[in-house]
Structure 1
Amino acid sequence: MTNNRRQILQLALTGLAAGMPLIGRAQSIENLKIISGFAAGGTVDTLARRLATHLAGPYAKSAIVDTRAGAGGQIAISALKTSVPDGGSLLVTPMSMLGIYPHTYKKLPYDPLTDLTPVSLGVVFDMGFAVGPMVPATVKTVPEFLEWCKANPNNANFGSPAPGSVPHFVGELIGRAGKVDMRHVGFRGSQPAILDLIGGQIAAVSAPVGEFLQHLSGGKVRLLATTGTTRNKFVPGTGTLIEQGMKDMVFGEWFGFYLPGKASADVVAKANAAIRAALADKDVVSGLAAMGLEAKSSSPAELAAILKTDTEKWGPIVKAIGFTAES
């Protein structure tokens, strides 16, 4: 037997011993980048870093978070779009950038359906609406905040992590429910908005519930309401918008993981399996819960279906509000 034939036979036997055919085996990934479009310290960043820690080893030899903040998450999505579809680049993004932005931007630098390949859900969560030192401590509910806004129109404002996002529209709908014209201030993520809230530069912030948790004990941030059908398990002492008389004001969101649009089925399957395993880890679940996030994975097909449903849901809401990225 020649040396070449011996090498071929040895490689074939190695493949069989590993429990899979040699041909078509997934290539090992050296370096994984999890691309995030929002500032460090927030909920998107938390999910990205938790997963990076647990994907380093089982999925890739090393894993880092690549923060591309700006343009309401669009820079990060554009970065994934141009990445090699070999599984070495994953995007974690809120639904807003994929399901709402198509209704608010005449032209996006990406197509959510062709430039991205769904992999798995990451987390689900409710929104929260909070006030800071600018608002008197006597204001303890959203209706009371709206009355305060009417009496202080120059300070009737709220911040959100990005214009055209779910938190932005929650704030807009709260204002409309109370017949108050609240000025919206868009930020590059929730934490920069909350820092301005604590500093007294803005009156209120609409953001994922988990973004507020680390700030509540100090007393400078007061959570007035959450947006679920029932009280949020992470802040059970805070009433929902429905409890406070705002009918049909139920809104949640999710963060999902995506690969570039041309990723193969094998690459998607490998990434999905690794993410699902990581999200089932007890340390990951508890770590995300500390940020008000409920770990939840899915199949790629399930994620695609969820995005389709949310895209269709938000179209009429955006139209009714009349918001466009140019407005």
Structure 2
Amino acid sequence: MTATIHSLGGKAAPSLDAMIHLVSSDLNRVNAVILERMQSEVVLIPELAGHLIAGGGKRMRPMLTLACARLLDYGGDRHHKLAAAVEFIHTATLLHDDVVDGSGLRRGKRTANIIWGNPASVLVGDFLFSRSFELMVEDGSLKVLRILSRASSIIAEGEVDQLTAQRRVETREDHYLAIINAKTAALFAAACRIAAVVAERDEAVEEALDSYGRNLGIAFQLIDDAIDYASDAETMGKGVGDDFRDGKVTLPVILAHARGNADDRLFWKEAMQGSRVSDADLAHAISLLHGTGALDDTLERARHYGQRAIDALGPFPGGAAKSALIEAVEFAISRAY
């Protein structure tokens, strides 16, 4: 029977606890690799990298590599270095993103670029990218190298695409979905897919795990988009309305703009261009998002992609690994409630 995403009424809130328990011993090995490979005689590098890597992140992407390996009953240890490579790619993109966005907070802590400056953050991000490729080369699989290097280039393309769409309120929904498929979902997909490669499974298994990760990544990003307007700094680890004030045209804004009247569309245009960013303007934006159903529909789309992720696991036998992967989807969705 196909698993489904249920409402949270009467149920304990989903969490990553099952996945963390499933992969705890493997994750310790991954963390050891991360700690070893972020070292450098240049003191600033481990200091700055450690600020972000030890900053409370969930390690969701490397855990997906480890959990998918468990799903496939992989008994080797190649996935430890590769999961570390995945985390380095993710961390490098965060360092670069914070510079591009001018962010001041991440996970409730000051960002590296605020503490050490933009040049150091960019260069340490480059160092972590290089470390990730060293780990891929050490693994020795050209297929793994192709998957992760391709994901890295797609992420960069997605970030540039988002930058060019910034403040363009006329951005279409399909264009925006293409952006988040690249900048967020590509690494989720690659993190899952490489487990099938190291476990020497066929293309169908690779595609199934790729689909799981990709759809989970899209759902994850859509939830982030929604809760930027419906949460607070303590919950999100960043200021509420940061996307609004940065002129980031996310799906809730795209939907609200398309459904609004002429005055609403003028407001969104001015807001995204930076001339309507007061607390009162944010409150008005949130009112429009609720009034047009844009937030509700963003959450509904996230549930749709979450269900597609769960459906992709259909061919795999039940067990602790499959259950943990399903609950990871439910956790991603539940963050909005």
Structure showing greater Rg: 1
Q: Which has the higher helix share?
A: 2
- Give the TM-score, by structure 2 length: 0.28
Higher relative contact order by CA 8 Å / sep ≥ 6: 1 or 2?
1
- Give the TM-score, by structure 1 length: 0.28
